[in-house]
Amino acid sequence: MGVLNVTPDSFSDGGRFVQLDAALLHARQMIDDGADIIDIGGESTRPGATPISPETEMQRVLPVLRALQGARVPISVDTSQPALMRAALEEGASIINDVRGFRANQAVEAVRDSDCGLVVMHMRGEPATMQRQPVYDDVIAEVSSWLARRCDELALAGIARERMVVDPGFGFGKNHEHNRQLLASIGKLLSVGQPLLVGVSRKSTLGEITGKPAEQRLSASLAAALIAIEGGARIVRVHDVGATRDAIAVWEAVQAERRPAPR
Ligand code: 9MG
């Protein structure tokens, strides 16, 4: 999943893709580089970000989505706003990626009667405050049981489980130690019973490990993506699609050699 931020303040490529043409160019490049999904987001959810109005978010996302109609890959829209969810589905989005796990009033109703995929992410708190000393007794068990419960609630509300992908939400109400613990035991989240999506690309936890700023975290992001895939993640949400594709190709080629030869 290639990240297409259309926010002026996104943490790693802030301001570069606010122009429609630049956004489209970037999306097409990610598709050529091998992205299977493009995820368009108009609200920055980086730690400390202030919320924006639903209107601003729509004005940022919808023109890009419209211009990408007919793209050869499914388009995901990263939003927690029910009005944008509805509008995006009308404009042909195939997936809604909600970092708040469809908890907003009317979010479930906005997606229920379509056949879109849902990315159900764990976040403790809100972006503006979520990094103020998050505490867990056991981050893996707590994130995993929250995701399982949320999927049960969505299923009870009438959403087929085949539509749901779960995501532990790296950096969303988790400190660096929590993020390392989650990545180390990522496979345990498969117990939720839904496909797993992981987004660690360029995140501050990688900066904490390497001492590098966001724009120099490519190698760290590739390492983290491969750890996630080795642990069972089916989708990785990344900024650097071509490099991630190459890394995955090497991993897959080696995996094929690990499988027992047919008799
Ligand atoms: C929008 N966004 C930023 N980080 C993310 C992550 O880790 N997962 C998902 N699903 N969305 C994210």
Residue pair 138/184 in contact by the 8 Å Cβ criterion: no
Q: Report CA-CA distances (Å) from 208 to 159, 175, 213.
A: 38, 11, 9
- Per-residue pLDDT of 63-99, as tens digits, reads 999 999 999 999 999 999 999 999 999 999 999 999 9
d(CA 99, ligand 1 centre) in Å:
6
Best mutation site among 37, 95, 99 for ligand 1 pocket (most ligand atoms within 8 Å of CB) = 99
Considering the candidates 124, 150, 174, 237, report the single residue annotated as catalytic.
Answer: 237
Mean pLDDT for the chain overall: 93
Q: Give pLDDT tens digits for 41-54.
A: 999 888 788 889 99
Minimal-distance CA residue to ligand 1 atom 3: 45
Residues 6+ apart with CB under 8 A from 156: none
pLDDT at 46 (0 to 100): 81
Average confidence (pLDDT) over 218-244: 98
Mutate to test the pocket of ligand 1, among 1, 78, 98, 150 (most ligand atoms within 8 A of CB): 78
Q: 208 CA distance to ligand 1 centroid (A)?
A: 19
Cβ 238 vs Cβ 219: under 8 Å: no
The pLDDT score that the predictor gives to residue 249 is 98
Which residue owns the Cα nearest ligand 1 atom 7? 199
| Virtual torsion, Cα 220, 224, 225, 228, nearest 10 deg | 180
Give residue 45's pLDDT: 85
Binned at pLDDT 50, 70 and 90, residue 9 comes out as: low
- Give pLDDT, residue 14: 47
Q: What is the pLDDT of residues 162-219, one digit of tens each?
A: 999 999 999 999 999 999 999 999 999 999 999 999 999 999 999 999 999 999 999 9
State in Å: Cα 211 to ligand 1 middle. 22
Neighbours of 9 (CB within 10 A): 13
Name the residue of 12, 39, 96, 121 to mutate for ligand 1: max ligand atoms within 8 A of Cβ.
121
Q: Measure 98 CA to ligand 1 centroid, in angstroms.
A: 8
Query: CA 241 to CA 218: how far, in whole Å?
Result: 10
Q: Which residue has the least CA distance to atom 11 on ligand 1?
A: 99
Percentage of the chain surpassing pLDDT 70?
96
Q: Ligand 1 centroid vs 236 CA: distance in angstroms? A: 10
pLDDT band with cut points at 50, 70 and 90 for residue 11: very low
Active-site choice (203, 217, 258, 259): 203
Assess whether 237 carries a catalytic annotation. yes
Contact in structure between 198 and 165 (CB atoms under 8 Å) = no
Residue type, 227: I
pLDDT bucket at 221, cuts 50 / 70 / 90: very high
Residues having CB within 6 Å of any atom of ligand 1: 41, 45, 78, 97, 99, 119, 121, 167, 169-170, 197, 199, 237
Let me know if 188 is a catalytic residue: no
